[in-house]
Structure 1
Amino acid sequence: MSNTETDAAALRCGALVEGDRPTGAPRVDVLSAREVPLGGPRAMRVRRTLPQRERSLIGAWCFADHYGPHEVAASGGMDLPPHPHTGLQTVSWLFSGEVEHRDTLGTHALVRPGEMNLMTGGYGIAHSEVSTPNTTVIHGVQLWVALPEEHRNTARDFQHYVPKPAQVDGAEIRVFLGSLAGRTSPVRAFTPLLGAEIVIEPHRTLTLAVDATFEHGLLVDSGDVRLIDTVLRPAELGYVPRGADVLTTVNETDAPARVVLLGGPPFGEEIVMWWNFIGRSHEDIVKAREDWEVSSDRFGVIKEFPGGRLPAPALPNAVITPRRNPPTR
C-alpha cells in the first residue's frame, strides 16, 4: 500500500532508549487512529495508527493502516497504481475482499482473507494493488516493517503464506509472522517480529504467553476488548512496553471480537520515513525520490499494468528533524 498523502510528513523515528524498562504491572497506552484518503476523488479512507506523534514504531513495525469494511460500489475500493518502496517490508492481510498484486519481480498474486503476502522492498521495488472485480466489500490491514541497516538494501522478494489457525481458550489465532500459541510462521523477516490475527468469542478471556523482550501493540478491528486493565474500542491500538511475559485480553461484547497483535524488540536504530521510502538520512530520501521520478532501474517496471505510475509528492522545504518514541515511564 502507498502513503498517498500529497503533503507527506518527513519523519525521523527512533526506538526507546536502551535501559528504559517498565516496573510493576504492564501499562497500556491507547493510540487513536487518524483518517487519511488512499488517493483520488472517490478515495477509500483508511485509519492510520502508526506512525504518529505518540509513537513511531512498535518493534520494527513502523506503519499500520486499517480499513473497512468498505462497500466497493461506494468507496471505489483499492486502486493503487505502481508505486515504489525502499528500506521496508510490506505485510498485506485481509479480513474480506480480494486484491490483485503485481510487482517488479514479476509477481502476480491475489491477497485473500487469512493469507499473508509479504513483499520486501530493500534497495527498491514497485508494486500495484487493485481490488478484484468480484470484490463487493474490502476490509483489512496494511503494515510496514522497517529493515535494519545491514539489510535495508537487500534484494527484492515476495513471500506468500497461509497460516493454519490455532484454537485457544475460545479464540482462533492465525500467526502470520513469528511465534505464538504453539504456531510459528516460516516467513522470513530481518528482525524478530510477531504478527497475528485473533478472533475472540463473546465474553471470553484469552491469556497468552509472549516474549518479555518484545513491546506489543493490539489493534482492535471489531468489538470492545480489554487489554490487561484498559478497554480498547474499534480502530484503537493498545501499546504495551517490553517486560510483559503474559497478555490477557477479554472480549466484552456479545459478538466475536477481532484484533491484530503486533510485537518485536524495540528497534535500535533511527529511521527516516517519508512517503513510501525508509532511509537513514534526508539525502537517502531525496535520492530515492529522484530515482523514482526519472524511472530508474532501481525500482523496475510493471509492464502488465494498464495505467500510469503514482507520482511522488513534493519534498518538504526542510531537512528532516529527529522524532523519537517517548521514554518508558
Structure 2
Amino acid sequence: MVSNLETAPREVPCSATTFDGVEVLEPREVPLGGPRALPVRRTLPQRERSLIGAWCFADHYGPHDVREAVGMDVPPHPHSGLQTVSWLFSGEIEHRDSAGVHQIVRPGELNLMTAGAGICHSEVSTPSTTILHGAQLWVALPDADRNADRDFDHYVPEPFSRGDASIRVFLGELAGQRSPVHTFTPLVGAQVDLAAGCTLDLDVDPAFEHGVLLDLGRVEVAGRVLQSGQLAYLGTGSTMLRLHNAAGLAARLLLLGGTPFTEELLMWWNFVGRSHDEIVEYRGEWESGDDRFGAVSGYSGSVQRLPAPALPAIRLRPRRRT
C-alpha cells in the first residue's frame, strides 16, 4: 500500500464499536504527496468508525488518466504492526520492499505485504499505465503477531459466477470459494461485479461485521442505496447480505469483513501501535535509518526515502472501547 502522505496526519485512536443496521460512511479526499499529487478517497478510519474487522484503512482512487498527469510515485516509507493489501482495477504498480520483493501489481491480483515489526517499500505506477484505478487497504495485526517477520503474498483469484454476478475472493471465504492466503484474524475480502438489474444474495458469517466499498455504479446494500465512493458498514449478526443493482449499468464493489477487532490500537502516519511511546520509537527509528525497517533496493526516484512528519504536541492515546 502506498504511504499515508498527509503532511499533518491526525492521531487515529482505533477501537471496536457496535452498531445495528447499515451505516454509510462518506469519503474525504486526501492528496497523496501534496496538492498536485494523486487524490484518493479515504473512508477508513473515521471518527464515526475506525475498524471493520481488522480492516483499519481504506483508500479508493481513480480512474485517473496518468498519461499527461502525475501518476503514483511513492518513495520508500515505513510500516509496522499491519498488513497492506493492494488491489487494482486498471493500471500497474511496481512494488519494491526491504524484504527483497520486487513485484508488479496488476488488476485482479492480490498483493499482501506483512510489515510485522517493520518494513519499508516503494510504489510507482509503470510507464505503460494509462488509467490508474484501485484501492489501498490496511489490516491491523493482533498483538500476538504484530512483531512477526516481514512477508509478502501474491495470489490471483479465479473469478466465478453467481447468476449475473462475478466474484473474486482474495482473502478468506465467500460463496463457497476460499483464498489460500493466510490471515492473522478471520477476514474476508472480495471483488463483486454486478450486471445491470442483478440481485445477489450472499451467505455471510454472522460473527463478522462487513463493509461494502462501492467503486462503480449505484447499488442497494441491505436496502440502503450506496453511491460510488461510499462505504456501507453492517454489524454482526446477519447470515445473508443482499446486493441489488437497480441501475442500467454494471456495478463493482469490494466486500470487506471480519470478526470485530477488540484490541485497542493507535494508528499514526504509517504505524499501527498500542501506545504513544511505541509511535515515538517507530518514528525515531525510521528517521535514524534503524534496521527495524531495512532498505529498498532499485527505487530510482528523486527522493530516496520519505521523512516522517512531526509528531503533534500532545500525547497520543488510544480510544477506550465502549
Q: TM-score, normalised by structure 1?
A: 0.95
Counterpart-to-counterpart distance in 1, 2:8 and 2:34: 14
Specify the alignment match of 1:6 in structure 2.
Answer: 7
Deviations 1:54-108 (A, max 9, x none): 1000000000000000011344111100000000000000000000000001110
Specify the alignment match of 1:319 in structure 2.
Answer: 315
Q: Does 1:310 align with 2:306?
A: yes
Counterpart-to-counterpart distance in 1, 2:167 and 2:245: 14
Specify the alignment match of 2:29 in structure 1.
Answer: 35
Q: Does 1:184 align with 2:184?
A: no
| Structure 1 outlier segments of 4+, above 4 Å | none
Specify the alignment match of 2:284 in structure 1.
Answer: 290
1:1-329 matched pairs, under 5 angstroms? 1-16=2-17, 22=20, 27-307=21-301, 308-323=304-319
* Cα-Cα RMSD: 1.2
Contact 1:174 1:196 (C-alpha < 8 Å) held by counterparts? yes
1:41 Cα deviation after fit: 4.7
Counterpart-to-counterpart distance in 1, 2:134 and 2:65: 13
Counterpart-to-counterpart distance in 2, 1:324 and 1:239: 21
Change over 3 Å in CA distance of 1:293–1:21 after alignment to 2:
closer
Contact 2:204 2:240 (C-alpha < 8 Å) held by counterparts? yes
1:169 Cα deviation after fit: 1.8
Partner of 1:164, secondary structure, is coil
1:254 Cα deviation after fit: 1.0
Contact 1:127 1:302 (C-alpha < 8 Å) held by counterparts? yes
Contact 2:275 2:317 (C-alpha < 8 Å) held by counterparts? no
| One-letter amino acid of the counterpart of residue 59, structure 1 | G
Contact 1:166 1:181 (C-alpha < 8 Å) held by counterparts? no
Counterpart-to-counterpart distance in 2, 1:3 and 1:180: 30
Deviations 1:117-167 (A, max 9, x none): 000001000000000000011000010000000000100000000001110
Contact 1:228 1:248 (C-alpha < 8 Å) held by counterparts? yes
Change over 3 Å in CA distance of 1:177–1:171 after alignment to 2:
same
1:21 Cα deviation after fit: 7.3
Partner of 1:151, secondary structure, is coil
Counterpart-to-counterpart distance in 2, 1:150 and 1:245: 29
Contact 2:218 2:247 (C-alpha < 8 Å) held by counterparts? yes
1:36 Cα deviation after fit: 0.2
Partner of 1:310, secondary structure, is coil
Change over 3 Å in CA distance of 1:229–1:142 after alignment to 2:
same
Listed as ranges, the gaps of 5+ residues in structure 2 are none
Counterpart-to-counterpart distance in 2, 1:107 and 1:299: 14
Partner of 1:290, secondary structure, is helix
Counterpart-to-counterpart distance in 2, 1:37 and 1:263: 26
- Alignment size in residue pairs: 319
1:42 Cα deviation after fit: 2.3
Higher mean displacement: 236-245 or 295-304:
295-304
Kindly, what percent of the aligned residue pairs are identical?
Answer: 60
Counterpart-to-counterpart distance in 1, 2:4 and 2:99: 21
Counterpart-to-counterpart distance in 2, 1:145 and 1:305: 25
1:11 Cα deviation after fit: 1.8
Contact 1:56 1:324 (C-alpha < 8 Å) held by counterparts? no
Partner of 1:266, secondary structure, is coil
Counterpart-to-counterpart distance in 1, 2:154 and 2:116: 17
Partner of 2:144, secondary structure, is helix
| One-letter amino acid of the counterpart of residue 188, structure 1 | H
Change over 3 Å in CA distance of 1:21–1:240 after alignment to 2:
closer
